[in-house]
Amino acid sequence: MKNLNVEKTKKVARLLLTLGEEKAAEVLSHLEPQYIEPVILELSKIQKITDDEKQEVLTSFKAEVDKIKDVSYAGIDSAFDFLKKVVGETRAKEKIDKLQNSHEFLDFTVFDNYPLKNILQVLEEELPQTIAIFLSKLKPKLAASILSQIDDNKKTQTAIRIAKLTSVTPEILLALYKSIVEKLEKLSSEHYDEVDGKSKINEILKNLDLESQENIFKALAKDDPQLSEQLKQNLIKFDDLLNLNEKEIRKIFEEVPDNLVWAKALKGAGQNLMRQILGSISINRSADITDEMNLLKSLPFEEIEIQRRYIMSVATNLHHSGVIDL
């Protein structure tokens, strides 16, 4: 056996895996040193071998063995165990380390097993050229899934660079592979508590006094107007007063006695809400508030919102105290 071509190397590797460690070690001991490394390299790439594949290998080598029913798993650890029995642990470790630092060892199918969201998170930090090289080594379906979800600007640049790829040096490929695997492994080992930030800040805002709420919304409006509006919408709304009975509404009126506040808050309110609120208080007070509303005529919506949030902050406090049920 002067040399092992690629096909023969694969067959030998699968035969060793089928035979098990003891017999495989015996077979390896009869190989010349220059044949061991390519066989071990191929063996380390095998993730599993099924019963049918085992039978095919045994038939190919015309060997008489019992059919093995279980799926056998290999990989770099099994490769190390096989090699250790032949050349000893120290030399086995040296050869495995050498293989792992060779671009020939790289198996980009391992990325099929990582969550897509983790791969996308890692690639956020990479340049289009780097992403292009990485995607070019993946299965087309996975590469397409990744490309479709990265930043639009980066997506176009990455696609162009993939199209222009001609060759990649082994050193760059090896460094890229190791870097991404390392980052993905680190990401997979980290555990985070899921936190819904918007829900948390909504709960906090609901328990703040009106002045504190206003200060937060003013500051937030400068930094992120859209988020500011979303948070306002998610606070307990003025329309939620429709859920209260007459007794509960009167409790709020006791805490907010200023008719002008109610008149401003009710400007532009729906008929059902007007009827619910004004119908829960005395006729005289209801008439006074209605008169105040008529005198106000036009009113900026911001002013209406301030008064409504003030009333709802009081209502929220009563809700948390168990006095009313929103």
Separation of first and last alpha carbons in the chain: 85
Residue 81 shares a structural domain with residue 181: no
Give yes or no: residues 173 and 208 share one domain.
Answer: no
Which of 105, 132, 150 terminates a domain? The answer is 105
Domain boundary among 189, 210, 234: 189
At 68 the pLDDT is 31
Percent with pLDDT over 90 in the chain: 14
Same-domain check for residues 159 and 202:
no
Q: CA-CA distance, 136 to 279, in Å (whole number)?
A: 71
Mean pLDDT score, 186-208? 65
Contacts with 119 (C-beta within 8 Å, 6 or more apart), sequence order? 111, 146, 180, 184
Count how many domains the chain has. 3
Does one domain contain both 45 and 133?
Answer: no
51's enclosing H/E stretch is helix 51-60
SS3 323: coil
Q: Are strands 48-49 and 72-73 parallel, antiparallel or unpaired?
A: antiparallel
State residue 32's pLDDT score: 64
What's the pLDDT score for residue 98?
56
Record the pTM: 0.36
pLDDT tens for residues 224-271? 788 777 776 666 678 888 889 999 999 999 999 999 999 999 998 889
Shared-domain flag, residues 213 and 301 = yes
Q: Of 171, 189, 207, which residue sits at a domain end?
A: 189
Residue 71's domain spans which residues?
6-105
What is the structure's pLDDT at 71? 37
- Which of 9-23, 64-78, 286-300 is predicted least confidently? 64-78
Has residue 32 been placed in a domain? yes
What region, left, alpha or beta, does residue 20 occupy, with left being phi > 0 and alpha being psi -120 to 50 degrees? left
Residues 82-97 have a mean pLDDT of 63
Say if CB 184 and CB 122 are below 8 A apart. Answer: yes
Query: DSSP characters for 136-195?
Result: HTS-HHHHHHHHHHS-HHHHHHHHHHHHH-----HHHHHHHHHHHHHHHHHHHH------
Indicate whether 12 and 75 sit together in one domain. yes
The better pLDDT of the pair 284, 64 is held by 284
Q: Of the given ranges (71-80, 168-177, 222-231, 240-249), which has the lowest mean pLDDT?
A: 71-80
Residues 171 and 202 grouped into a single domain:
no
Rounded to 10 deg, the angle between the 301-320 and 259-266 helix axes is: 110
- Distance CA(311)–CA(309), nearest Å, equals 5
Q: Are residues 234 and 144 in the same domain?
A: no
pLDDT tens for 36-67 read 667 777 776 676 777 777 777 777 665 433 43
User: How is 96-144 classified by DSSP, letter by letter?
Assistant: HHHHHTSGGG--GGGGGGS-HHHHHHHHTTS-HHHHHHHHHTS-HHHHH
* CATH number for position 162: 1.10.220.30
- How high is the pLDDT of residue 87? 58
pLDDT at 226: 80
Whether residues 62 and 131 fall in one domain: no
Please report, rounded to a whole number, the percentage of residues in the chain having pLDDT higher than 70: 70
pLDDT digits 0-9 by tens, 97-149: 555 554 455 678 888 888 888 899 889 888 999 999 999 888 888 889 899 89
